[in-house]
Amino acid sequence: MNNFYFQLPTEVYFGKGQITNLPGAIKQYSDNVLLVYGGGSIKRTGLYDTIKNLCAEKEIEVFELSGVEPNPRIDTVRKGAQLCKQHNIGAVLAVGGGSAIDCAKVVAAAAKYDNDAWDLVLNPSLIKEALPIFTVITIAATGSEMDRGAVISNDETNDKLAMFSALFYPKVSILDPEYTYSVPKNQTAAGVADIMSHAFEKYFTRVRGAYLQDRIAEAILKTCIHYGPIAYHEPENYEARANLMWAASQAIDGVTWRGNDVQSTAHPIEHQLSAYYDITHGVGLAILTPVWMEYILNEETVHKFVDYGVNVWHISPEKDPFDIAKEAIAKTKAFFASLDIPSTLREVGIDEEHLEIMAKKGSKNLENAFYPLEEKDVLQLLKNAL
Amino acid sequence: MNNFYFQLPTEVYFGKGQITNLPGAIKQYSDNVLLVYGGGSIKRTGLYDTIKNLCAEKEIEVFELSGVEPNPRIDTVRKGAQLCKQHNIGAVLAVGGGSAIDCAKVVAAAAKYDNDAWDLVLNPSLIKEALPIFTVITIAATGSEMDRGAVISNDETNDKLAMFSALFYPKVSILDPEYTYSVPKNQTAAGVADIMSHAFEKYFTRVRGAYLQDRIAEAILKTCIHYGPIAYHEPENYEARANLMWAASQAIDGVTWRGNDVQSTAHPIEHQLSAYYDITHGVGLAILTPVWMEYILNEETVHKFVDYGVNVWHISPEKDPFDIAKEAIAKTKAFFASLDIPSTLREVGIDEEHLEIMAKKGSKNLENAFYPLEEKDVLQLLKNAL
């Protein structure tokens, strides 16, 4: 196990009706707030009105940044930061999924930064302060509600970059599983793939002896495998929605990866796919993950696939290690297929056109991955995924 | 899954040499500190000198409260609070195991309280402020370094009471597995039993559908079963000590029990044993746990024992549920025996004398346990454990 620093300052109110705790939490920091959200879904479900009313009761003035894109753009961040500066806004509230939250995080930092927000994405060490961040999540997926990361895209440069700051931990996150009842089936499935990918990224690590972290990652994977299909077929199954929602947070908040950290592989490659094609992040991950697993399976890595196959898929440990590994990968692929997630890049409209540039950008730092990959490996992997 | 509130404000520095982060952390709050510890072990290992030197370098004045008992006494708390008031001490640093930490927590609160410290134990809602708490742990067991609980004994009344306050979360805890190399074998074993008991107490719950939390509890149990014997036989095995140390924190910090909470059973009963006989807490738990499991095994509870047997002990799910349950309990008992922990109360000097009063005190609130127990049940359970 590696040395590590652990912090998890976000307070969580989890469960039905917990939204009532939100305005009091905001009010401790500010009398006004920037509400950051995507499209009209929170208006359709009534969550928008609920929040506006609760804030009004507590005399919190609400400004709005709407229209945050599924892969949030730096231009939207700039707009939000401008609003904060102009109206002297003292807090940021994201309502939605990872996109709204990631956008809100960078808005919170950019509001306290004198120059262009993209500077902060390129160099997060420039972030010296940020407005307090609050979140209400409406989809179980990124876990951004309980971590210090954000991913922002730049249309002009086709960049989609992950960034981290301790100031990005939300102060308070409201996790009400009922808010995810209305998530469309395909987005529910993509969210499950995203959660699983977070667990995989730190499970497949070169760190030896982070046994507890690995067993917790398996707990999260088992939860996704158990409840993913239930939530997919019964959108209003509270138990399934609750377990997936909490799994999303736990997959990212450090309990699986502190002491066990490694450069992610599928995520940075997928970021190129969604930067160039604006596809759903979780779908890209579900396509890439089994292909990546197949690509890196070898004598050096097989032991980890055996753990995965035996502990998560209950494959008999008596079998040949490579048979276990291949069966585990096949089961992973079949699982995503059972949720009707596309399994090839062509199905989501990606062809050969940008493979080279995506491989080039997506292979940065992968020499530190579980199994080191070079640009040519990533290119081959993308071809295998076509 | 139940609604819950989650917070985990303690910052952790985990690993070799992390002690160097301690003085800077204290200095953010105070120029002096009360060092709270038990006997001479931290002097023998050199940890005492290391901390004194590091504090001196940072110009932090160190006052001392030594001689904290294995089951810390309210009189010692009073002494510590008195020192804090007298010298205007601004922070409390526990170095040791759960005893030192629990004592330090209540000292921190009592230092800010005008009346007698025992009031706070009886009614923790009286705790309105507390000095900032820091910990350096030297045994993997209670997890007190990352939670909001403390257990304090009162000699005059033979009371040993658990208490909780959000102000009891340490600000910073230093978890260096090397500090546990010198823990004696019997204490290593008792620590493992304590960790496992924390996992059991919330695993055996009436809450349905807290699937993720249950799988994480199993991860902790598997970690203890895997590494307990290694640490017992190879005290300087870093990997084993590290996994047990982190498991101790994770077993108590909320990831297993938020959303899944239930009144503990073995713990409150054991507190009576150690209140009357001053035995090692983890030993009491290891004796009581299998007896408790046997006592409550029935049609209503068997499903949970099946989960435990299949997922933790890899017993075939094809077997009869009661056979799985009995095998799981037998394996639990055999595991503790393999660590040379006594398996009966008589072995630790407990006979019939105080059984009635211990059953009376230990059965409080057990109507809310996984399987509700009355005074007569606890008495029978204690008799079964003789």
Identify which of A9, A213, A242 has the shortest CB distance to residue B9: A9
* Pairwise CA distance, residues A166 & A170, whole Å: 10
Residues of B whose CB is below 8 A from A239: 1, 208-209, 211
Domain identity same for A206 and A295: yes
Q: How confident is the model at residue B256 (pLDDT cuts 50, 70, 90)?
A: confident
Pull the structure tokens for residue A282: 């979780």
Looking at residue A20, its pLDDT comes to 98
- Could you give the CA distance from residue B13 to residue B21 in angstroms, rounded to a whole number? 8
Q: Is the Cα torsion angle A69, A75, A78, A80 positive or negative in sign?
A: negative
Instruction: Quote the number of domains for chain A.
Output: 2
Contacts of B254 in chain A (CB under 8 A): none
Q: What is the pLDDT of residue B52?
A: 97
**In the predicted model, what is the mean pLDDT of chain B?**
96
**Least confident among A29-38, B20-29, B36-45:** B36-45
User: Is there a single domain that holds both residue B303 and residue B357?
Assistant: yes
- Write the CA distances from A139 to A146, A159, A179, A191, A235, integer angstroms: 13, 25, 7, 7, 12
Q: Do B38 and B68 touch, CB atoms closer than 8 A?
A: yes
Please report which confidence band the pLDDT of residue B255 belongs to, taking 50, 70 and 90 as the band edges. confident
| Of A1, A209, A243, Cβ closest to residue B211 | A243
Domain that holds residue A122: 11-179
Give pLDDT, residue A303.
96
Using the predicted structure, report yes or no on whether residue A275 has a pLDDT greater than 90. Answer: no
Q: What is the DSSP string of B8-34?
A: EEEEEEESTTGGGGHHHHHHTT-SEEE
B223 shares a domain with B141 = no
**Model confidence pLDDT, tens digit, residues B62-101:** 999 999 998 899 999 999 999 999 999 999 999 999 999 9
pLDDT at B82: 98
Is A5 domain-assigned? Answer: no
> What is the structure's pLDDT at B158?
87
Across chain A, mean pLDDT equals 96
Does residue A161 sit in the same domain as residue A192? no
Hey, what amino acid is at A113?
Y
The predicted structure's pLDDT at residue B40: 84
Q: Radius of gyration (Cα) for chain A, nearest Å?
A: 20
> Which chain A residue's Cα is nearest to B169?
A9
Percent of chain B with pLDDT over 70: 100
Q: Same structural domain for residues A66 and A92?
A: yes
Q: Evaluate if residue A127 carries a pLDDT over 90.
A: yes
Q: Which of A149, A65, A53, A42 is nearest to A105 (CA)?
A: A149
Q: Please tell me which of the candidates B6, B216, B218 has its beta carbon nearest to residue A12.
A: B6
Which of B114, B147, B179 terminates a domain? The answer is B179
User: How many Cβ atoms are within 10 Å of A185's Cβ, its own excluded?
Assistant: 13
Chain segment A182-191, per-residue pLDDT in tens: 999 999 999 9
The answer, yes or no, to whether residue A40 has pLDDT greater than 90, is no
> Do residues B65 and B34 touch, judged by C-beta distance below 8 A?
yes
In a domain, B366, yes or no: yes
Taking CB atoms and an 8 Å cutoff, what residues of chain A touch B238?
Answer: 209
**Do A239 and B209 count as a contact with CB atoms less than 8 A apart?**
yes
Same domain, A132 and A217: no
What are the tokens at A131? 């407005």
Listed residues B179, B197, B227: the one ending a domain: B179
- Inter-CA distances, A15 with A92, A136, A309, Å: 22, 12, 33
Same domain, A161 and A197: no
From the list A295, A291, A321, the residue with the least C-alpha distance to A308 is A321
Q: Which residues of A touch B258 (CB under 8 A)?
A: 14
**Which of A15, A216, A259 lies at the smallest CB-CB distance from B216?**
A216
Per-residue pLDDT at B206 exceeds 90: no
* pLDDT band, very low/low/confident/very high, at A254 (cuts 50, 70, 90): confident
* Residue B45 to residue B181: CA distance in whole angstroms: 10
Kindly state whether residue A2 falls inside one of the protein's structural domains: no
Based on the fold, state whether residues B138 and B164 are members of the same structural domain.
Answer: yes
Span A35-51, mean pLDDT?
95
| Least confident segment among A278-287, B103-112, B168-177 | A278-287
pLDDT band, residue A206 (cuts 50/70/90): confident
Contact A14 B6 (CB under 8 A): yes
Residue that terminates a domain, selected from B131, B164, B179: B179
In a domain, A1, yes or no: no
The helix, strand and coil proportions of chain B, stated in percent and rounded to the nearest 5, come to 55, 15, 30
The CATH number of residue A235's host domain is 1.20.1090.10
Query: Per the domain annotation, does A6 fall within a domain?
Result: no
Query: pLDDT category, B253, cuts 50, 70, 90?
Result: confident
Rounded to whole angstroms, the Cα distance separating A195 from A282 reads 8
pLDDT band at residue B369 under the 50/70/90 scheme: very high
The answer to whether the CB atoms of B6 and A17 lie below 8 A apart is no
Residue A147: pLDDT band (50, 70, 90) is very high
Q: Scan for tokens 């299949």, then name that residue.
A: B310
Q: How far is CA A36 from CA A80, A152, A167, A259, B311, in A?
A: 8, 15, 18, 34, 43
pLDDT of residue B67: 96
- The Cα B6–Cα B143 span in angstroms is 17
Q: Is B299 exposed, middle or buried (0-12, 13-18, 19+ CB in 10 A)?
A: exposed
| Domain membership flag for residue A370 | yes
* Better pLDDT: A155 or B22: B22
- The pLDDT of residue A331 is above 90: yes
Q: Is residue A107 located within the same domain as residue A209?
A: no
Could you tell me if A175 and A216 lie in one domain? no
Residue B317 sits in the same domain as residue B174: no
What is the arithmetic mean of pLDDT over B228-257? 95
Any idea what the CATH number is for the domain that residue A138 is in? Answer: 3.40.50.1970
Global pTM?
A: 0.96
- Residue B251 amino acid letter: A
Token look-up 């307090």 returns A132
Q: DSSP labels for B134-190?
A: EEEESSSSS-GGGSSEEEEEETTTTEEEEEE-GGGS-SEEEE-GGGGTTS-HHHHHH
Residue A63 Cα to chain centre, angstroms? 26
Compute the average pLDDT of residues A276-285.
Answer: 92
Contact B3 A18 (CB under 8 A): yes
Q: Is residue B279 part of a domain?
A: yes
Q: Is residue B222 part of a domain?
A: yes
The DSSP bridge partners found for residue A73 are: A153
User: Are B263 and B144 in a shared domain?
Assistant: no
Q: Where does the pLDDT of residue B164 fall: very low under 50, low under 70, confident under 90, or very high at 90 and above? A: very high
pLDDT at A126: 98
Query: What are the tens digits of pLDDT across the range A356-369?
Result: 999 999 999 899 99
- Confidence band of B49 (pLDDT split at 50, 70, 90): very high
